[in-house]
Amino acid sequence: MAVDERVLEELALSLDEYRLIVERLGREPNEVELGMFGALWSEHCGYKNSKPLLRLLPNSGPRILTRMGGENAGAVDIGDGFCIVMKVESHNHPSAIEPYQGAATGVGGIVRDIFAMGARPIAILDSLRFGPLSDRRNRYLFGGVVGGIGGYGNCLGIPTVAGEVSFADAYSANPLVNAMCVGVARIDDLMPGCAKGPGNLVMLVGSDTGRDGIGGANVLASRVFDESSAELRPTVQVGNPFLEKLLMEACLEIAEKHPDWVVGIQDLGAAGLTSSSVEAAERGGAGIDIDIACVPRRERGMVPFEVMLSESQERMLIFVKTEHEEDIRRLFQHWEIRCDIIGKVTDDGYTHVRDGDQEVVTVPVTVFTNPPEYRRDGKEPTYLKRLQSYDLASLPDLTDPAIDGLVEAGVGTTRASAALLRLVSSPEIADKRWVWRQYDHQVLTNTVVGPGSDAAVMRVKGTKKGIALTNDGNGLYCYLDPYAGGAIAVAEAARNVVCAGAEPIALTDCLNFGNPEKLEVYYQMEQAILGMAAACEKLATPVISGNVSLYNETNGDAVLPTPVIGMLGLLEDVDQRCPMAFQTAGDDVLLLGAELETPVATLAGSEYLRQVHVLVAGRPRIDLDFEVRVQHACLEAIRDGLLHSAHDCSHGGLAVALAECCIEGGLGLDGSGLRLSGRLDAALFGEGQSRIVVSCPPERRNEVEALARRFDVPLTYLGQAGGERLVIGDAVSVPIADLARGYREGLPRAIQGR
């Protein structure tokens, strides 16, 4: 078996996998076939290390209209004949090489997944992770990625309505760029991504094919980075959002007005023409015959290998009924988009690729689409027990003078107040409007609640309904306890949409991990997925779509294990949404879900621990049964009209959550009557789960208390909204103006290197 192992390495195939290909084909593959196997058997397309684990996630329910992985994105029935279509994907490695185009084409790719199904994209969300902004390279990556997301999304006329940004050393050379798109469609307009019907035509529409992006699925997405990674810049795609806008409108016209002209629509994403044609044929139980001599090209001398694996952007395959060829041609000509017939659907179950008269690929579709799967015995990381058993109680509390050198309280400022100011000014917690002001979040006029809240809220035109959208993840929690971290990611995302007044109904996920061939990394991924599955079951939020991004490593060091959850919530009446900020002076402010005294264990993985003690340690925990009760109590209180605001306690704990409610509402809090006992740092900055800060009119507090008792959920009175200071017992007293200044200026200062 004469094969150059260096070639296999470039294609991200092992020697054993090559032998399996030879066994299944009964011969050795040629160069083009081998390149296609490398792409389709890559982790990005074939999910060979993750598919056995992904089957553990619940993926069905009465509202679910699609099979996970069976279409370009997942679809959920929201009633009145409408559905929501959504998906999240990563563009981590391209963004590390070329941040603007990497992020821009990540947006373009995920948007195509949505309109390929006949759904009009109405929202983009992003989840971003970078190294500390004190490093110039990280600042460059951050600025480029944000610019790419805004540049592409704004040109498409799709609002970017929510997201998250996080910073940690582990992301320094390998930023995470996860883009999510949400669309709305009438259920009857949904389009499949399949090729079927022998003789039906395969039409390539959109951009001409070039050499950009060749090998993106396997060269970029299935390898770790090192000093030579800059040489991979040519594998990063280049986007044209103006062409994509035309392509989107043309495809939506087909879905909405002429669905009987076609049998399916498929976007060209990772692995380009290879994955789009082969996967569509598999879904339709068909074969496919393509003549690449008919593929329009923008570069001379392209060989079949390059044409089949190019990841040039803004391209779609339309599977056209033969009798409607001219109808489809006229439609795309109207939109000034090139369209070319490049092949036909067959009934022999084979992938045939020809270059004129020469056949260059003859492989059964199912051989391409069934890569080997690897189920490994994960190994618990050696660091885990040491960090989980760290004695957090040994750290000096905020009442201890020994902490003075850490919090640097000024004259007349308590240590707790100084710690709070430091946290709200840190890039991790500080206001992210520097980011989202670069995005158009009001275009299309669906946005009711935009960026900066627990969840975005969008109206569904033609109905009274609204949807709440958020994405969440915490790599530190997963680093310290992958199972709990996975469960918390799902629970927090659901809690965020609940705070907006929506019922969580489904999610999409993007799982970002290191090299799965390392057993410690595999352990992290397996445990995180098990934790996610447990939370999804408890919260009745099936996983309808998603993406796995592995090999996120640089020089052998992996990123933090980071599952990102995109959560969808449904409001039957969008006017019943709930804001996060305090609304009315004199309202009672309550903590739903916890007593005020908080165990020291809640400092595990907290931002306070990282900022003040420069420490990542402890063991995050969550009680999922309790989480369900807290969310149900909050949602019922909102639906009954009892609450004026609701805000999730997460990063920074209770004190930061209260500060955010005050800053956004322009109202202080008089909590001077609180008596804080136990550890002060844990009470103020512990990140215990299942807690929500709510406010209500004083005359309705008894009803809120009765509802909390019915759900067996603690409810603690914190004080009254109003005034110009945030006061928490005798520990914190800070002018809202000072908090707001630090909160607003923290990220811009960091970007400027200050």
**Is 44 part of the annotated catalytic residue set?**
yes
Whether residue 722 is contained in a domain is answered as yes
The pLDDT value given to residue 677: 87
Closest CA to 303 of 209, 231, 219: 209
Classify each residue of 423-442 as buried b or exposed e, where b means 16 or more C-beta atoms within 10 Å of its C-beta.
bbbbbbbbbbebbbebbbbe
Residue 571, in any domain of the structure: no
pLDDT score at 404:
87
- CA 720 from chain centre, in angstroms, equals 36
- With a cut of 70, which residues of the chain have pLDDT below it? 1-2, 215-235, 411-412
Query: Which three-class secondary structure state does DSSP give residue 285?
Result: coil
Q: Does 528 map to a domain?
A: no
Domain count, the chain: 1
Say which DSSP state 225 is in: B
| CATH value at residue 745 | 3.90.650.10
**Residue of 91, 93, 644, 651 marked catalytic:** 91
In a domain, 159, yes or no: no
Quick one: tokens of 266?
A: 């498929």
Single-letter residue type at 384: L
Tell me if residue 476 falls in helix, strand or coil: helix
Q: Would 153 be classed as within a structural domain?
A: no
Per-residue pLDDT at 227: 52
To the query of whether residue 324 is one of the catalytic residues in this protein, the response is no
The sign of the torsion formed by the CA atoms of 152, 154, 156, 160 equals: positive
What's the rounded Cα separation, in Å, for the pair 528 and 419? 31
Reported as type and span, the H/E element at residue 320 is strand 315-320
**Does some domain include residue 400?**
yes
663 part of a folded domain? yes
Centre a 10 Å sphere on the Cβ of residue 708 and count the other Cβ atoms it contains: 22
DSSP state, 598? -
CB 658 within 8 A of CB 693: yes
Domain that holds residue 720: 390-430+578-754
At 239 the pLDDT is 87
In angstroms, rounded to a whole number, what is the distance separating the alpha carbons of residues 362 and 352? 5
Digit-coded pLDDT (tens) for 130-161: 999 999 999 999 999 999 999 999 999 999 99
In-domain check, residue 659: yes
Can you tell me which residue has the tokens 């056949």? 359
Which pTM was predicted? 0.96
The closest alpha carbon to 453, from 145, 689, 164, belongs to 164
Report yes or no: 662 and 582 within 8 Å, Cβ to Cβ. Answer: yes
Burial label, 538 (beta-carbon count in 10 A; 0-12, 13-18, 19+): middle
Helix (H, G, I), strand (E, B) or coil at 231: helix
Determine whether 570 is exposed, middle or buried from the number of CB atoms within 10 Å of its CB (0-12, 13-18, 19+): buried
